[in-house]
Amino acid sequence: MKKTFFLKWFVLLAAFFSVCVFAADVGVAQPGQQVLQPPSTYPSSPDDIQQKVQRLQQLLAQSQAQSQAQTPNQGQAQLIPLPQPTQNRAAVTGISPLPPTSLPGMQNLPPQIQSVADNRGLPVVQQQPQAATGVNQGIQESLEANASGGAEQSDMYDQAFNKVVTQLLPMSTDQIGRLKEAFNDAQRAAAAPVGVPPKPTSSSVLVDLAPQATPPVIRLQAGYITSMVFLDSTGQPWPIAAYSLGDPTAFNIQWDRKGNTLLVQSVTFYKRTNLAVILKGLNTPVMITLLPGQEAVDYRVDLRVPGLGPNAMYAQSSLPGGASPVLLDVLNGVPPRDSKTLKVSGGDCQAWYVNKTLYLRTNLDVISPAWRSIMTSIDGMHAYELQPAPVILVLEHGKDKTITLTLEGWE
């Protein structure tokens, strides 16, 4: 009895849960559809419960039938049989499959995948190597970008270097060469003297201390130095005691305060003045005119003063004669007027014959025949005046070596 009671209550609870589930599935009633109403009262006996359960089952069956009539396919899955591996796809779908090799990317499929695609009749989508291709393409683009970036950076460095070079050296090599040539020409033009450059000369001058005599003239030039050497009648140095310059601002004079040489330089081009030189033991000063701006410039002038200086030397115990202009010309290498040049062999000597007189210019000491007059320069050169003779005996620099000079061309 108890078992039957519990069983009926269990059936009742199951029916109640079924009703709840049905209400959840059905939801809002469609037009013409009966809506289940919950029981107003709970069953009081097992027979009532059983009747109500049967009623609920009938209502549930009717509701399912109406739902299937309205939407026969709603809530049911359409099962379509899949074709077998050997079945043709066109028989199922009605679509003719494309040849596997006609699709993009199907030509390079591995043999295993290509065979499966051919057997199934399905277009197998190739595993596109977009990722790998994209990676390779990205690497290639990165390399190209780096290369282009390196080229652009190199071009930028070259442009910066060229800009610095242009700023520091804006002129080309040809322009620099032309500029240097123009600068050189300008410097040459600025340094060149006006007119013809002066001619350098060296000479000997006889000083005349007579009151009416004209003082010797020394030709100077700005930028050139002239040496004035003072000698006595024997050709020996005559030391200087003092000197005085007329315009010290126009000339520059150097002297060692013990010798017989003055170094004179003109500061201006045309300003002239005079110079007074006092020699040791000589009461009369030697007056000299300084004249710049001439066509020739005296590099060296030997001023031969008449008289015997402190260093005078006597030759063959004979007194020196008066100063001869002709002998002075011979000493300077100037032939006497209307003279005939003779040929000399045996030594370094020059000879001229005129008016039955023989003139020799040599640095050798003549010992035979006896000479009439002699004039010596500071450099050791001698000028002799003697009787005509075809053979001359000389000593070389005062040594005991006799040299015979043969003169030819008398006629």
Residues of the domain holding 403: 325-408
Q: Give mean pLDDT, residues 231-253.
A: 92
Q: In the β-sheet with 199-206, what is the strand arrangement from edge to edge?
A: 199-206, 296-304, 225-231, 261-266, 251-254
Q: Which of 304, 336, 368 is the last residue of a domain?
A: 304
Q: Percent of the chain beyond pLDDT 70?
A: 64
Domain-located, residue 260: yes
pLDDT tens string 101-111: 444 444 555 55
Domain-located, residue 63: no
How many CB atoms are closer than 10 A to CB 349?
A: 21
Distance of alpha carbon 232 from the chain centroid: 64
Q: Same domain for 377 and 298? A: no
Q: Same domain for 356 and 289? A: no
pLDDT (0 to 100) of residue 7:
61
pLDDT (0 to 100) of residue 323:
64
pLDDT (0 to 100) of residue 314:
65
d(CA 218, CA 220): 6
pLDDT (0 to 100) of residue 92:
43
Q: Same domain for 204 and 298? A: yes
Q: Same domain for 217 and 279? A: yes
Task: Taking the CA atoms of 188, 194, 196 and 198 in sequence, report the sign of the dihedral they define.
Answer: negative
Name the domain count of the chain: 2
pLDDT (0 to 100) of residue 299:
94
pLDDT tens string 257-315: 999 999 999 999 889 999 999 999 998 999 999 999 888 999 999 999 988 889 887 65
Domain-located, residue 58: no
- Indicate the pLDDT class of residue 226, thresholds 50, 70 and 90: very high
Q: Same domain for 282 and 373? A: no
Peptide bond into 100 cis (omega under 30): no
Please provide the average confidence, as pLDDT, over all residues in the chain. 75
Domain-located, residue 361: yes
Domain-located, residue 266: yes
Query: Residue 280 is part of a domain; what is its CATH number?
Result: 2.60.40
For residue 309, count CB atoms less than 10 angstroms from its CB and return exposed for 0-12, middle for 13-18, buried for 19 or more. buried
The size of the chain, in residues, is 411
Angle between helices 46-70 and 2-26 (to 10 degrees): 30
Q: Same domain for 243 and 294? A: yes
d(CA 265, CA 297): 11
Q: Give mean pLDDT, residues 313-340.
A: 74
pLDDT at residue 90 tops 80 = no
Burial 191-212 (b: 16+ CB within 10 A, else e): eeeeeeebeeeebbbbbeeeee
